Structure 1
Amino acid sequence: MLKKRRLFVDADACPVKKEIEQVAAHYPVSLIFVASYSHYSIDSAPGWIYVDPDKEAADIYIVNHAEEGDIVVTQDMGLSSLLTHKHVYVLTPGGNLVKEKDMPNILHRRYMSYKQLAQGNRIKGPKPFSLKDRQRFCRSLENLLSQLS
């Protein structure tokens, strides 16, 4: 019997949770939202896993449970680097598929940004999340799920 592919969502700050539910409903995937207990809601649907409110608890849960061939939606590039190494598909909320070969450059840019912050310099933050970003994400998730089904 073939194991059902799982789609994990690093849910605490994910701006596309509704879109993920809508797209994933058309594919044979198990949807797992991982969030801190501080975001707990009595109205949570099945498929929500709550973890300690510690800073990296959701990331640790995802790293420990995601397996080769699973999909993770996250904007955390540190988490992405741990997952791409395990041959997990990583998709950002902006619709970018993160590849293992790109991780050294991504992590270097992240390091340089943190270094600038530590020196007291200001860095430009992300642009506001737009409707185009949501649409690009939906297309990317749809494409990925259709290729893997």
Structure 2
Amino acid sequence: MKVVVDGDSCPSRNIIEKAARELSVEMEIFCDVNHHITSEYSKVIYMDSGFQSVDMAIFNSIKSGDIVVTGDFGVASMVIGKKAYAISPKGYVFDEDNMDRLLFERHISQKVRRSGGRTQGPKKRLKEDDVRLYESLKTLIMKANE
């Protein structure tokens, strides 16, 4: 079991790394070559900057029981399909029960934007998000190790 981070869309890598280190879990961070990420604990894997290159590399590297931290609903959906766990950078766990709704909401928002409308951007990150991520990730790691 390992923790895999979508480094292109994850502002809280230090919190994820803290939880992985405390529970002695391997961690990999995937990002494209336009990002500069360093880590003393995690393995950083750079991909070409092509469309979906990081997402596909993550999907190809994970196994059942791995944990993927991503803010991308499409990646989360593919991860769940592989019987792995997906969690957002704000600590919300994605699962089969909420994935269809999230993908549908994303679809509707895309339609609104394509027709010239505006949608609300992401909410500002709060301290509570960091606490939720840390606690939820530790819970998932323990669950995956059962």
Which TM class, normalised by the smaller chain length?
over 0.9
Q: Choose the corresponding residue for 1:138, options 121, 134, 138.
A: 134
| Residue 28 (structure 1) aligns with | 24
SS of residue paired to 1:38? coil
Return the offset for 1:26: 1.5
| Residue 75 (structure 2) aligns with | 79
Corresponding residue pairs, total: 144
Query: Alpha carbon RMSD of aligned pairs, Å?
Result: 1.4
| Residue 49 (structure 1) aligns with | 45
Could you give the per-residue CA deviations for residues 101-127 of structure 1, whole angstroms, max 9, x where no partner exists? 322211111100000001111111111
Could you give the per-residue CA deviations for residues 22-69 of structure 1, whole angstroms, max 9, x where no partner exists? 11101232100001111135x554500000011311101001111111
Bigger CA drift: 124-133 or 110-119?
A: 124-133
Could you give the per-residue CA deviations for residues 50-107 of structure 1, whole angstroms, max 9, x where no partner exists? 0001131110100111111100000000111111011110010111110023222111
Letter in 2 for 1:21: E
Equivalent residues in 2 for 1:1-149 (5 A)? 5-40=1-36, 43-45=38-40, 47-149=43-145
For the 8 Å contact 2:3–2:27, the answer to whether it is kept is: yes
Distance 2:15 2:51 in 1: 25
- Unaligned 5+ segments in structure 1 are none
TM-score (normalised: structure 2): 0.92
- Unaligned 5+ segments in structure 2 are none
Distance 1:93 1:118 in 2: 27
